[in-house]
């Protein structure tokens, strides 16, 4: 155990810089509980030395130990379990360099979180629905971490739009009608009124659901409410954007032929062959598209790419209307990352754009099947 008495002022600084939480990597346990409970010993956490304060202590050194005994740079706040681990049970596995890295990571994160202004608060909207036979769950802890450093949660209570446990599959009659109506009602109950009362001024959206429902969620949110739509990444498994990754090479294809049917293919996660579209709509179909040069299921890594996708889509919707006229309907076939699917609904403008007919991959038939429609008279939009 430490032999040096740490001045009270330095202890207070350490507690403040650590946020009152254990600085061991992955722990973050609150060490202020005994302060609240009113026990005689007010400190639940321990002030631990990185380089022991004596030559015979953990990581001790004859010269450096006395010099660093009271230095803040050499002190960490630890819970009892990890204090014993680094000094006794796992001493050999916890060299000085590792503990210094843990301390820096923790204090940097605390400084980042506490430095975010009140105007950067954002309400978290979680949307989860069955994807195939799997239930899609969105972890609150993971998404709160992904909001930093630009935003912080306005409340620890998330706004949850959930449709889990439905025994129906997408091949059954009324599946999409039931799901979309349920989503609209939940959105009206939990979100729309709060936006109208200006209780929600910014939203951070985290979702895992079938693509037609993601597009419908985007339609409900629209682009009037400032929002950041997040993307779940597979490798590494995180909701945080990956700005150091290469950007997406988008291919935008127009079709100005005067054909009666209009298809819009949005394919970034996988390729969609023209034959599959023609099998649904027939040979007299003009196919417009936004695709990626190298599609794959983890392609949307950067927020800049999501913004660029929005720009391409906005321009293409305007061009389709200019070429095909006010009476056309746009048949949408998508293979998109979650965030891009939501943005399809947010980009669409009810008073300006053509109606959308959304198709989804039907697992039973192996082809595309009509899921739901987005029209100018659709209810529920903000």
User: Per residue, what are the HEC states of the chain?
Assistant: CCCCCCCHHHHHHHHHHHCCECCCCCCCCECCHHHHHCCCCCCCCEEEECCCCCCCCCCCCCCHHHHHCCCHHHEEEECHHHHHHHHHHCHHHCCHHHHHHHHHHHHHHHHHHHCCCHHHEEEEEEEEECECCECCCCCHHHHHHHHCCCCEECCCCCEEEEECCCCCCCCCCCHHHHHHHHHHHHHHHHHHHHHHCCCCCCEEEEEECCHHHHHHHHHHHCCCCCEEECCCECCCCECCCCCCCCCCCEEEECCCCCCCEEEEEEECCCCCCHHHHHHHHCCCEEEEEEEECCCCCCCCCCHHHHHHHHHHHHHHHHHHHHHHCCCCCEEEEEECCHHHHHHHHHHCCCCCCCCEEEEEECCCCCCEEEEEEECCCCCCCC
- Note whether residue 241 is domain-resident: no
Rounded mean pLDDT, 299-304: 96
- Note whether residue 294 is domain-resident: yes
Q: pLDDT tier at 191 (50, 70, 90 boundaries)? A: very high
Q: Are residues 109 and 124 in the same domain?
A: no
Q: Which residues have CB under 8 Å from 370's CB, separation 6+?
A: 357, 358, 359
- Note whether residue 238 is domain-resident: no
Rounded mean pLDDT, 108-125: 82
Which of 114, 144, 165 marks a domain boundary?
114
Q: Are residues 258 and 208 in the same domain?
A: no
Quote the Cα angle for 271-136-367, to 5°: 35
pLDDT of residue 367: 85
Q: Above 60 in pLDDT, residue 92? A: yes
Residue 362 vs residue 14, higher pLDDT: 14
Q: Are residues 211 and 145 in the same domain?
A: yes
Rounded mean pLDDT, 74-101: 95
Q: Which of 39-53, 102-116, 173-187, 314-328 has the lowest mean pLDDT?
A: 39-53
Q: Which residue has the tokens 């060299």?
A: 95
Q: Above 90 in pLDDT, residue 119? A: no
Q: Are residues 254 and 342 in the same domain?
A: yes
Question: Which pLDDT tens digit goes with each residue over 135-179?
Answer: 445 678 888 888 888 888 888 889 999 765 566 666 676 889 888
pLDDT of residue 134: 47
pLDDT of residue 32: 83
Question: Which pLDDT tens digit goes with each residue over 225-261?
Answer: 899 999 999 888 899 999 999 999 999 999 988 899 9
Expressed as residue numbers, the domain containing 83 is 8-114
Question: Which pLDDT tens digit goes with each residue over 343-369?
Answer: 999 999 998 999 999 999 876 667 899
Question: Which pLDDT tens digit goes with each residue over 302-332?
Answer: 999 999 999 999 999 999 999 999 999 999 9
Write phi, then psi, for 64 (nearest 5 degrees).
-80, -30
Neighbouring C-beta atoms of residue 107, cutoff 10 Å:
19
How many angstroms from the chain centroid is the CA of residue 20? 27
Q: Which residues pair with 210 in a beta bridge?
A: none
The b/e string for 86-102 (b: 16+ C-beta within 10 A; e otherwise) is bbeeeeeebebeebeeb
- Note whether residue 1 is domain-resident: no
Residue 190 vs residue 379, higher pLDDT: 190
- Note whether residue 109 is domain-resident: yes
Q: Are residues 257 and 363 in the same domain?
A: yes
Q: Above 70 in pLDDT, residue 129? A: yes
Residue 301: CATH number of its domain: 3.40.50
Q: Above 90 in pLDDT, residue 43? A: no
Q: Above 80 in pLDDT, residue 379? A: no
When divided into structural domains, the chain yields a total of: 3
């Amino acid at each position: 155990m430490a032999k040096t008495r740490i001045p009270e002022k330095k202890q207070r600084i350490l507690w403040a810089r650590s946020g009152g939480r254990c600085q061991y990597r992955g722990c973050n346990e609150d060490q202020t509980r005994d302060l609240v409970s009113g026990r005689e010993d007010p400190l639940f956490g321990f002030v631990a030395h990185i380089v022991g304060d004596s030559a015979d202590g953990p990581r001790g050194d004859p010269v450096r130990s006395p010099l660093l005994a009271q230095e803040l740079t050499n002190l960490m706040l630890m819970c009892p379990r990890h204090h014993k681990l680094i000094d006794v049970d796992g001493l050999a596995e916890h060299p000085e360099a590792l503990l210094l890295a843990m301390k820096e990571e923790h204090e940097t994160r605390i400084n980042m979180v506490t430095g975010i202004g009140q105007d950067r608060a954002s309400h978290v909207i979680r949307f989860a629905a069955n994807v195939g036979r799997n239930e899609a769950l969105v972890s609150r802890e993971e998404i709160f971490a992904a909001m930093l450093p630009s935003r912080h949660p306005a409340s620890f209570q998330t706004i949850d739009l959930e449709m889990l446990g439905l025994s129906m599959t997408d091949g059954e009659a009324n599946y999409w009608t039931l799901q979309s109506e349920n989503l609209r009602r939940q959105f009206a109950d939990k979100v729309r009124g709060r936006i109208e009362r200006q209780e929600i001024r910014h939203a951070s959206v985290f979702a895992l659901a079938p693509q037609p429902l993601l597009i419908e969620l985007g339609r409900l949110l629209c682009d009037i409410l400032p929002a950041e739509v997040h993307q779940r990444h597979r490798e590494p498994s995180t909701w945080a954007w990956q700005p150091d990754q290469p950007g997406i090479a988008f291919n935008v294809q127009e079709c100005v032929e005067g054909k009666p049917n209009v298809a819009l293919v949005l394919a970034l996660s996988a390729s969609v062959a023209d034959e599959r579209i023609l099998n649904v709509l027939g040979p007299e179909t003009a196919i417009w598209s936004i695709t990626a040069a190298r599609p794959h299921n983890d392609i949307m890594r950067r927020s800049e790419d999501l913004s660029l996708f929005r720009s391409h889509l906005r321009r293409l919707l305007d061009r389709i209307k200019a070429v095909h006229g006010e009476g056309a309907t746009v048949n949408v076939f998508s293979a998109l990352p979650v965030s891009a699917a939501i943005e399809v609904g947010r980009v669409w403008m009810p008073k300006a754009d053509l109606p959308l007919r959304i198709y989804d991959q039907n697992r039973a038939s192996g082809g595309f099947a009509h899921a739901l429609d987005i029209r100018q008279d659709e209810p529920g939009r903000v």
